[in-house]
Amino acid sequence: MKAAVYDETGPPEVLRYADVPDPTPGPGEVLLRVEAISIEGGDTLNRAGGLMPSSPHIVGYQCAGTIVALGDGVTDRAVGQRVVATMAWGSHAELAVTPSLVTWLVPEGADIQKVACVPVAYGTAHDCLFEFGRLQAGETVLVQAGASGVGVAAIQLAKRAGATVIATASSESRLNRLWPLGLDVGIDYSIDGWVDRVRAATKGRGVELVVDSVGGSILQGSLQCLGYRGRCITVGQAGREGKLLDLSSLGAQNQSITGVFLGAEIATPRAQAVIQELVDDVAAGALEVLIDRTYPLSEAAAAHAYIESRRAVGRVVLVP
């Protein structure tokens, strides 16, 4: 099969398009013929400096396609079914294996490229807002990095839950793509004073919930946007800034900060059911997936470079 592989971690240019042996499914696994690959933030971070279980290594942990073979003991899936799947690595290829436990059925007629983008981003957004963020109708939520995959999902999910949605992005042009999703207030956080603008949008009260996937100095600002009993969710830490947080202000206002990692929940019946519902919603058009660009798998290096340019709104997809 063809795959985008690398022999050492580094910049996007380490990716090369090569022939590698076909994978075979082990016990409890399925083999997919990949039709669409959602490039996740973790994919670019792993390529830049993550673990390499093999050399050459195939990065990537989310894709969608058709099941072409079953490993021993698989009874919940069948050859010919279309699924979207997560995995530890291996999505950047024509074929991929993954446990059947982390596959979700794709409804008939669904856009395979859109559903390929759902489990991690939309499942994460749902957990941040509801399972851990406890968002209620009538509350105000601040979604940092609203143009990211998680941000695009969180804006829509929060809006349909009856919340007022404030979101940030790094430019007005990126914010403009978010208004149709249900955005109430858009703020360019590349301009100084964005914390004051968030608080002004709430008439000084502050927000009940923040979903922050950036971290660092932005996360410190997120804490300053909280109102009384406000909750801040930190997830992903895309900025990788490594800045120490000052949490001294939380106690006086009975505020809290919680870290969220979908990977620790994804195999639970609760999370699996939530993700299937989200896949179904996207397939039915009840939720939108923004795909900024698609690239052939042979141009994976260019796709990774585009993501790292921070110009994308939503997801970038590879097609074998």
303 and 223 in a single domain? The answer is no
CATH of the domain at 187: 3.40.50.720
Q: CA of 32: how far to CAs of 64, 153, 287, in Å? A: 8, 26, 25
Q: What is the pLDDT of residues 91-124, one digit of tens each?
A: 999 999 999 999 999 999 999 999 999 999 999 9
Query: Which domain range does residue 6 map to?
Result: 2-117+289-319
Angle at 220 between CA 219 and CA 225, to 5 degrees: 90
Do β-strands 62-70 and 82-86 pair in parallel, antiparallel, or remain unpaired? Answer: antiparallel
Q: What is the pLDDT of residues 251-294, one digit of tens each?
A: 999 999 999 999 999 999 999 999 999 999 999 999 999 999 99
Indicate the pLDDT class of residue 239, thresholds 50, 70 and 90.
low
258 and 134 in a single domain? The answer is yes
Question: What is the C-alpha separation between 108 and 111, in angstroms, rounded?
Answer: 9
pTM: 0.96
69 and 90 in a single domain? The answer is yes
143 and 81 in a single domain? The answer is no
* 279 in a structural domain: no
* 20 in a structural domain: yes
The count of other CB atoms within 10 Å of the CB of residue 249 is 12
Residue with structure tokens 């950047």? Answer: 92
* 27 in a structural domain: yes
Count: domains in the chain: 2
